[in-house]
Amino acid sequence: MAPSVITTQDTAETTVDLQSSSTRAVNEMLTSPEAPARVRVTDPQGAHALACGLDSTIDVVIDGHVGYYCAGVNQKATVTVNGNAGVGVAENMMSGRVHIKGDASQSAGATAHGGLLVIDGNAAARCGISMKGVDIVVGGNIGHMSAFMGQAGRLVVCGDAGEALGDSIYEARIYVRGSVASLGADCVKKDMREEHLAELAELLDAAGLKHEPSEFTRYGSARQLYNFHVDNASAY
């Protein structure tokens, strides 16, 4: 079924009602060479895998809640969700920007290599798990095991963090404004130098947040688990 499309001439915006089409048809339109520059998707009703695999500078706005893996494998595109997002939003994102105006379920930004993921509300467990270069900014709190095995990139949390933050972390940087329930294996508190204050200020500005960088604490790897050592066996 072809998507039902209404073009709004004054804003050069194409509107697609997802209840008049299928998710596959909409995704095919968004990834086609003839895709319009700006698309608004209405009435998503929690659809899964919406706006996945985008690989151009298209601007997509989704009015409503989305299900699993929204904006997965994103490249170059800007995706804004005016609602909440299910599991794995922006999973394996390579570049571009994904902005969730509500809350996100677990594994937000999982394995993502680049780009910026902004979550205005809270993110559930495993936010940024195995992150590989993405920048993630969360306006609220995050759940347990976030940034687990975080290899590269930055995770900014403007609220509190759950248990086992940064467990088995590599070189990802974590900034938390609130409290941390507990740190995971090999994750430690680190000094906040001028370079970190500067990069945090840039990330907060990019996310449209006004917090002072000096209010945050930096966490990262103690670099004790890079190679096996018998004295650290209980931490593996």
Helix (H) / strand (E) element for 7: namely strand 5-8
Q: What is the pLDDT of residue 107?
A: 98
Q: What is the pLDDT of residue 225?
A: 76
Q: What is the pLDDT of residue 44?
A: 95
Q: How far is CA 191 from CA 30, 64, 74, in A?
A: 44, 40, 33
Unique residue bearing structure tokens 């004790």: 224
Residue 113 lies in a domain: yes
Is pLDDT larger for residue 64 or for residue 227? 64
Domain of 61, CATH number, reads 2.160.20.60
Residue 230 lies in a domain: no
The rounded percent of the chain whose pLDDT value lies above 70 is 91
Q: Number of structural domains, the chain?
A: 1
Distance CA 79, CA 73 (A): 12
Residue 236 lies in a domain: no
The answer to whether the beta carbons of residues 217 and 199 sit under 8 Å apart is no
Q: What is the pLDDT of residue 75?
A: 97
DSSP letter, residue 163:
S
Q: What is the pLDDT of residue 102?
A: 98
Residue 235 lies in a domain: no
Residue 191 lies in a domain: yes
Residue 231 lies in a domain: no
For residue 6, what pLDDT band results from cuts at 50, 70 and 90?
Answer: very low
Distance CA 45, CA 31 (A): 21
pTM (2 d.p.) = 0.92
Q: What is the pLDDT of residue 224?
A: 84
For residue 1, what pLDDT band results from cuts at 50, 70 and 90?
Answer: very low
Residue 183 lies in a domain: yes
Residue 149 lies in a domain: yes
Q: What domain range includes position 131?
A: 5-225
